[in-house]
Structures are given as C-alpha cells and as structure tokens.
Amino acid sequence: MSDHSSDQQDPIVETPASSEKPSLFLNREISWIQFNLRVLEEAENRRHPLLERIKFLTIFSTNLDEFFMIRVSGLRRQIVAVTGGSTPDGMTPSEQILVINRELDAHARRYTLCWKEDILPALQETGIRVLHYSELAPEERKAIQGYFQREISPVLTPLAFDPTHPFPHISNLSFNLAVLVKHPERGDCFARIKVPDVFPRLVPIPTDEDTALQQMGLGKTGKTQRFVWLDEVIANNLTDLFPGLDVVAAYPFRVTRDAEVAIEEDEASDLIEAMEEQLDQRDFTSAVRLELDVSTPDHIREILTRNLQLPPYLVYTSNSPIGMSGLRELYALERPDLKDPPFVPSVPSCLGKSNSILAAIREQDVLLYHPYDSFMPVVEFLREAAHDPDVLAIKQTLYRVNPKSPIIDALMEARVNGKQVAVLVELKARFDEENNIEWARKLEDEGVHVVYGVRGLKTHAKVCLVVRREQDGIRRYVHLGTGNYNVITSRIYTDASYFTCDEAICGDVSDLFNSLTGYSRKNSYSKLLVAPTMLRQQILSRIEREARRHRQHGDGYIAFKMNSLVDTQCIQALYDASQAGVRIDLQVRGICCLRPGLPGISESITVTSVVGRFLEHARIYYFHNGGHKDVLMGSADLMPRNLDHRVEVIFPVEDPQWREAIINEILAVGLRDNVQARRLLPDGTYERQQPADGDPVVNSQDWLLNHWKSRS
C-alpha cells in the first residue's frame, strides 16, 4: 500500500515531548511496522486471488525499502550524531532500532513462509512456476545459456576489489553479486557484478513451442509460464566473464541508501538546479541496510560491511530471494482468473445530465468518491476549461502526477488557447522530484507560469481554480481533493473529489493561490482550513466544541477517517474529549500513536484500520455538533509534518446530499467493516474484526463497489 503517500516518506521530525505520560502514546515507527504487517497478512489471506496476494507481497517489500530509506536512515543519523531526544512514547533512537529489528525479524520469517510454503506451491497448481536454476532441465539450461551469452553477458561489468582496484560504488536498491574467484597466483579474489535492471528480474524459460516459433520467425506465443531468477542465471554462467580463473561462488546482495534530499532554499539561486544536484547525490548517500543471502560466508559479509561502513544492526540475512518487488512481473501476467474481477467506475447522474461539467457545477456541488467514481470528470473539468472561450484563467497545485498525464496536457492546451495558467509544482514531493522537474520545465516551455512551492514548506494541498466570464460577471469554479491529480492512482486509491462554485470557498481558494504564487501572508480564511497557519487550531477547537456539547447534552460524536494520526496535541484533545464522554470512532489506515481503550483516558475511542483491494487514502473529519453536522475533507492527516511543515487544505462539505452520503455511506460502512478491518488494541497490536453471530458480513470496499454508484 505504498503512498509515497504514502505516509512514511518524510524525514524524522520529533514531536515536542508531551507533558503527559509516555505510556499514553504508541511509537510512530512501530505503528508503521504494524501497518506493513497488515499488508503482509493480506498476502497470507487466501480469500484473495493468487496474483493479488503476490501484489501484496510486492507492496510489503517496497514499503520496507522506503521505510529504510527515510525513517531508519533518520534514526541512524540521530544515533551517529548523538542527537535527538526521546519520542512522545519515551523511546530513544537506539531503542527504536532494537525494536524495529526484532519486529522485522519476525515479519521476515512470515514473509519467507508465505512465499515458499504457500504462494509458490499455489502458483505451480495454476501452471506458473518460479524455479531455481538448479531445477532446470538440461535443454532448458542450454536455452537460458544462449540467452545469457546473446543478451546479458555483453551488458555485465565485473569489478575487482584489491589493492589496485578500489571498492566499487554500490547504487541504491541495485541487485548485485559478490563473486569469489580463485586466481592462480593471488588465490581467492573478490569481484562485484551489478545485475542489470534493463532485464526482467524473472527470466521466462522458453517452451518447446516458443523455440519452434522463434526459429520460424514468428516470435513468442506469450504462453510462457515458467521463470527463473535473473541473478541465478548470471551466477551460474560466470565462467566467460573470468577466463583463466575458477569461479568459486556468487552471493546476491542489495544495499539501501539514505534517500533524504536536503535543500538550503535560502541559499539556492535556482531551486530546480539545486534539487537536481541533490538528486544526483542520492546514490552516494550513506548505506542504511545491507541484505544478504543466508549462505553468504562471514569473510564476504565482512568485506561488504567494512567498505559500506555499516554497523552489524543494519545487516539483514534472508533465505528467500532478496528484493521481492520483482514479483510484480508475475502480477503483470495475463491471468484474469487469478486477479480481482475488473469493474467500471461510475459517473454521478448529476454530471450525466449535461454536456458541460461547469454547467453541472453551477446547478449543484458534486462529490466523487474514487475509484468507485471515475476520475475522468476531473480531467474533463480541466479540458473543458482549456477550450471554453469564456474561461480566463486556471490555477492548480500539482504534487504527484502520472506519466503521460492528461492533466498536464489540458493545462498546456489551456495556455495554447490563450488562458492565463499558473501551476504550483511541488519539487520536493518524495521520490517524484525528477518527474516534477520534468513537468515543470514542459509547462514553462508552453508559457505556463510555474512556481515551485513555498519556501520552507511542501505544498501538499489538492486544489484547482477555474475563472470564467459569464453574463452576470466573473464566476469561479473549484475542484478540491484528498488525493493527487493522478489518473493511475485514482484507480487504486480511495479518494474524494469535490466540485463547487460556492463564492466563499472560491474566494478562499483565490486568496490561497495569491499566497502561493506571490507575497501574500494571509492567515485566515472564510471557510477553508489551511495549514500551517490555522488547521491544527481549527481541528482542536472543533474537538473541544464536541466535548463541551457532550457535557451539556450527552450527544457528542466524532468520526475521523485518515491515513495517520501522530500529532500529540490532537491526540491529547481526543483523550480529553473521550474523558468528557464523547464517543469517537477513528479509522486510521496506517500510523496511529493514540492508544484506544485505556481506562479513564480513552475508553470511548475505537480505532480500526482497513487494508484491502484499494489503498484507503481519503481524509474525512466529522463532528456531530448537536445535529448541525460538520463534515470536512482534504489533503491533511493529523501529523506534525502536515500541520506544521506543509501547505494543506481542509474544506467543508455543505451540500446536505453529499454530507449525508459521506456520513452514512463512506464513514458508516467503513466503520462496520468486519472483513478487511482490524481493531487497534491498547497495547498497539491489531486484531482482525469478525462478524458477530447474526451480524451481516460487511466488506466496505466490496459494498461500495456494488452500492455507491446507485446513490445518485
């Protein structure tokens, strides 16, 4: 469930220690590890189709890579520099590393068991086999050797390590072989070979039918369902690379490096150039993890750890293939029988009645809930604005954008058609920096006014403003969202889009863009809640209002849906509300540092997490407010980074129809989930929800797939 969301990819910023007891808070890093365990549990879950289970294995592996690149690297920097105090839960960086390693050892064992004892045999039953090189038949080895000599061998570069050859640079997340060869005069020698990433990690093994067709010049049939690992192909065909030497053994390994990019914005004359320089250095940062095969001998391990300057606690061994993200190649197989059934996203009837998105928005506010609703109305909103002769200007924020983006195309078309177009492209979006630099330059080449964010902050808000001249004057239209302007992720993330031409909200959005693109220092808005100036305080005041209401009338209720809950001030406010008797339901997909169910502290708080087919990504904040229901949505989680270090926007949903749909369907159904939901226990562990006797079985994502489209 990776969301460069996803949600862990910012440097460690310690929350100021709370005046309350550390025992009231769960550790942020351990809470994230519990989330990734829930992802692994879905790989173990036999209710899912087989290739979907493999998808969860790859997500688990990719999530862990990013965790080391950002979170563990931050902890190591603190340990080396002897800086950083304890977190709100009282743990020091060294203590956190110890617990992380203990937890990850247990997860690694489950991961290996799931792959070797469960999924591999299940694949074989479906006709898909992932083999070790030693399992190949002689004729198969001959075919693979031919492929190696023709395609792979010319790309390989053995790099020796001895007094005349320095230790080679090992790039981040690259696959490598530590090769031990015997030299006639020098004895045992060490060499490194990088496994090229231009080849598939799983090499198809040709069938007799494939071979015959290739000989006739007809190409592959596409039916090959047998594979062997690329690193094993290389390791078993090294003789030609070391003529005159005996190849003793080859051991796979992989290095993870610190991915933090630090920009001194006050000193950078050109932010794009400064960012590019830092990105060029990402492969040369400190190593934070070394992954080894369990068979790697001690002297090879010692060579690697000494030259990578890694302490023993950052070395990890495995008896399953290293870096299992390569299994995504299996998910790409054309085997619909082994995947979730496809579905067609709907379009609300209020949009289907008109050929114009803008005309529909003039009639009423419009809510979309992706992926159950199509993302295409968002694209059409921009396309229509780009071609409408009465549209004067378009302003938009971009954080993560997919390749070949129709959003970018529409913005460039708008500029070609003479519209004033201003776009804030956030260059510091983690792991999307290079893509965003490329998009920024393309937009600038088309004449779009591009800004790169606000100094000292990331702009994470999801906002688009269209300004149109109409008969009765200038009218503004706004799209506000909880997710990125990304067509690809809109199919797999649950996110909300909201269209409105409410004058107060549109005025707020205009003011926001003035502060983003100019020197405005506006801190207060009519309806929007904007970080970092006022968002936390507005949330806190609403929590306190609910507590006051409950003390007077006994009907207090709060329901939040978010990715992460870390901010100690917000957690303390929720504890205070719980002690006042307010019933609080929190659905927190990932990190949650609040402990529910503590006697006298949080007895009325429940926390659940849904991990399923789609990545739960929407942020929704509901306060019952004595029946004057207050529903907010937007881009921000309740984390210090969102509230203090980012430009975020939370907006009210005031249309009664959509407000009730959010409360009674999105929130209520999610909270009733007893299939994919887990409940957080006071000790920080999670237990899967089960239907009680006589209760209906509720899988919230399946329910929304079947019922959400009928609500309009």
pLDDT at residue 509 greater than cutoff 70: yes
Q: Give the model confidence (pLDDT) of 220-252 as tens digits.
A: 444 558 999 999 999 999 998 999 899 999 999
pLDDT at residue 371 greater than cutoff 80: yes
Question: What is the torsion angle, in degrees rounded to the nearest 10, for the CA atoms of residue 586, residue 40, residue 331 and residue 496?
Answer: 10
Residues 502-532 as b/e (b if ≥16 CB within 10 A, e otherwise) read: beebbbbbebbbebbbeeeeeeebebbbbbb
Give which of 35, 29, 109 is closest to 76, Cα–Cα: 29
Asked whether the bond before 22 is cis by omega within 30 degrees of 0, the reply is no
Element (H, E) at 547: helix 535-553
Residue 149: which residues within 8 A CB-CB, separation 6 or more? 237, 240
SS3 call for 352: helix
Three-state SS sequence of 414-465: HHHCCCEEEEEECCCCCCCHHHHHHHHHHHHHCCCEEECCCCCCEECCCEEE
Its CATH architecture, for the domain 349-526, is: 2-Layer Sandwich (3.30)
Start-end of CATH 3.30.1840.10 domains in the chain: 133-265+291-331
Q: How far apart are CA 392 and CA 390, in angstroms?
A: 6
50-54: long-range pairs with CB below 8 Å, 24+: 50/119, 50/122, 50/123, 50/126, 50/338, 51/330, 51/331, 51/333, 51/335, 51/338, 51/339, 52/338, 52/339, 52/340, 52/613, 53/119, 54/119, 54/327, 54/328, 54/330, 54/331
Pairing label, strands 686-688, 615-616: unpaired
pLDDT value of position 280? 55
Give which of 189, 195, 190 is closest to 156, Cα–Cα: 195
Q: How many CB atoms lie within 10 A of CB 240?
A: 11
Mean pLDDT of the region 31-47: 97
Task: Name the residues annotated as catalytic.
Answer: 460
Q: How far apart are CA 303 and CA 631, in angstroms?
A: 58
Q: How far apart are CA 85 and CA 50, in angstroms?
A: 45
What share of the chain has pLDDT > 70, as a percent? 90
369 pairs with which residues across the strands?
A: 496
Q: Give the model confidence (pLDDT) of 91-119 as tens digits.
A: 999 999 999 999 999 999 999 999 999 99
Q: How far apart are CA 300 and CA 298, in angstroms?
A: 6
Start-end of CATH 3.30.870.10 domains in the chain: 349-526, 530-711
Superfamily of domain 530-711: Endonuclease Chain A (3.30.870.10)
Start-end of CATH 1.20.58.310 domains in the chain: 22-126
Q: Give the model confidence (pLDDT) of 561-618 as tens digits.
A: 999 999 999 999 999 999 999 999 999 999 999 999 999 999 999 999 999 999 999 9
Q: How far apart are CA 216 and CA 208, in angstroms?
A: 13
Q: How far is residue 69 from each of residues 169, 308, 429, measured CA to CA in Å?
A: 17, 15, 15
Confirm whether pTM is higher than 0.75: yes
438's tokens: 């490329």
Taking phi over 0 as left and psi of -120 to 50 as alpha, with beta for the rest, 685 belongs to: beta
Q: In this structure, which topology does domain 133-265+291-331 adopt according to CATH?
A: polyphosphate kinase like (3.30.1840)
Give which of 161, 142, 134 is closest to 235, Cα–Cα: 134
Superfamily of domain 22-126: Polyphosphate kinase N-terminal domain (1.20.58.310)
Cβ(100)–Cβ(82) under 8 Å? no
The DSSP code for 389 is T
Residues 431-462 as b/e (b if ≥16 CB within 10 A, e otherwise) read: bbbebbbebbeebeebebebbbbbeebbbbbb
pLDDT at residue 129 greater than cutoff 50: yes
pLDDT value of position 162? 82
Work out the burial of residue 579: count CB atoms within 10 Å of its CB; fewer than 13 is exposed, 13-18 middle, 19 or more buried.
Answer: middle
pLDDT value of position 11? 45
Q: If pLDDT is split at 50, 70 and 90, which confidence band does 261 have?
A: low
